[in-house]
Amino acid sequence: MKDVKVAIVGSGGIANIYAIALKTISAVDIVACASPTEEHIASFASRFDIPRRFTEYRKMLEMDAIDLVVIGTPNHLHAQITVEAASAGKHVVCVKPLCMNLFEADEMIEACRRANVRLMYGENICFEPKYVKLKEICDSGALGDVFLLKQSSKHGGPPTEWFWDLSKSGGWATMDLGCHALQFFRWICKNEEPESIFAEMANCVHAREQRGDDESIIIVNFRNGLRAITETSWAKKGGFEDKAEAYGTKGVSYAYMPMGMTLDTYSEIGYQKKHYVSENVPPGWTYATYEEEWHYGFPQMFRHFTDCILNDTDPVVTGEDGRKVMEMMLAAYESANKGCKVYFPFEKEVEKPIDLWLHNK
């Protein structure tokens, strides 16, 4: 069986996590990487022993020896890189969120369809072992009929500056973390169509020149009667929180991600956490994590995507899933602005999702 030749676009936090995950897969050979700053891409290539590096990704796409392009860049670049990679005949894995709006989503999906390559949506939540077990429990009928799902992801804000720039991110907490929850709900309920969405958003802590949503609460009603609630936050002090709950007519199951993957640790000076959510960990008692990439499903996700390419099978999460999540996020921002439920299907032309919330504010 031949190796899948992989090229990575990006050299920041998520690109590093992707490279670590890809390096665990024997059927993968990372052959090239690209990022616009020479110092950054040189360091990245050296760290992961990648033979060729580029400051212009279009030059990299000219390489014949690339099967799969993995995109780990700011959100506003996802669509153009995907379209150009597809045009060059490469399969694509795109980090979440898929893009900035539905026009871009449709453009990405159509470009990959035309080129007969796969567009795989890099949503690791569908591969996190604890959440995979939660889905298995739900699917088995052990909880009876599941009528309520909850999921929340919260931290104090991202360490990378581009996230705060709304022209590059398209939104704050909802775009960054809400996309996880919305795909989690769809995955658990077997891609049931949403009926309506209601959201409230606020700027609670981060009073920057651009004031985005650093706190949001979203309620989704699905057509089968299931309800789902998510709270996402860039305003939470005290470290990263990631959990899910499933309530059924015959039982309940809780999946708290940090529990069972931490070391109770006391330090008088604190320490730097450098993996999935990088942050300075304060002095005192903390919960130190290990093997975060595995616990958060990244090696499993790329092993699955690699198998899809080698065996010509359909991935668990696709560009179409990313588009549906984008539609739901757009509707959430619209709901937060209007103060009422928004019903699906929801189609609205907008440059970036947060414009719908900030309109007339």
68-71 and 91-95 beta bridge pairing: parallel
Q: Kind and range of the H or E element at 108?
A: helix 102-115
Burial class of residue 127, CB neighbours in 10 A (0-12, 13-18, 19+): buried
Taking the C-alpha atoms of residue 319 and residue 316, their distance in angstroms, rounded to an integer, is: 10
Taking the C-alpha atoms of residue 140 and residue 136, their distance in angstroms, rounded to an integer, is: 6
- Is pLDDT of 281 > 70? no
**One domain for residues 155 and 183:** yes
Polymer length of the chain: 361
- Residue 65 is assigned to a structural domain of this protein: yes
**CATH code of the domain containing 212:** 3.30.360.10
- Residue 10 is assigned to a structural domain of this protein: yes
Burial class of residue 314, CB neighbours in 10 A (0-12, 13-18, 19+): exposed
% residues pLDDT > 90 (the chain): 84
**One domain for residues 274 and 305:** no
The reported pTM is: 0.94
- For every residue of 152-204, DSSP letters joined together read EEE-S--SSGGGG-HHHHSSSHIIIIIHHHHHHHHHHTTTPPEEEEEEEEE--
Residue 289 is predicted with a pLDDT of 74
3-state helix, strand and coil shares in percent for the chain, rounded to the nearest 5: 35, 25, 35
In this structure, are residues 219 and 228 in contact, taking their beta carbons and an 8 Å threshold? yes
**One domain for residues 159 and 134:** yes
**One domain for residues 109 and 8:** yes
- Residue 85 is assigned to a structural domain of this protein: yes
- Residue 54 is assigned to a structural domain of this protein: yes
| Mean of pLDDT over the chain | 94
For 36, the domain range is: 4-125+298-317
**CA 319, 321, 325, 330 torsion-angle sign:** positive
Report the candidate in 165, 240, 149 with the shortest Cα–Cα distance to residue 209. 165
**One domain for residues 83 and 205:** no
**One domain for residues 190 and 333:** yes
| Cβ count within 10 A of residue 210 | 14
**CATH code of the domain containing 106:** 3.40.50.720
Residue 237 is predicted with a pLDDT of 86
- Residue 361 is assigned to a structural domain of this protein: no
Per-residue pLDDT of 15-57, as tens digits, reads: 999 999 999 999 999 999 999 999 999 999 999 999 999 999 9
Residue 266 is predicted with a pLDDT of 82
**One domain for residues 142 and 77:** no
Report the candidate in 247, 189, 254 with the shortest Cα–Cα distance to residue 222. 189
**One domain for residues 228 and 280:** yes
**One domain for residues 156 and 64:** no
For residues 169-191, average pLDDT: 98
User: What's the number of domains the chain is made of?
Assistant: 2
Per-residue pLDDT of 2-16, as tens digits, reads: 799 999 999 999 999
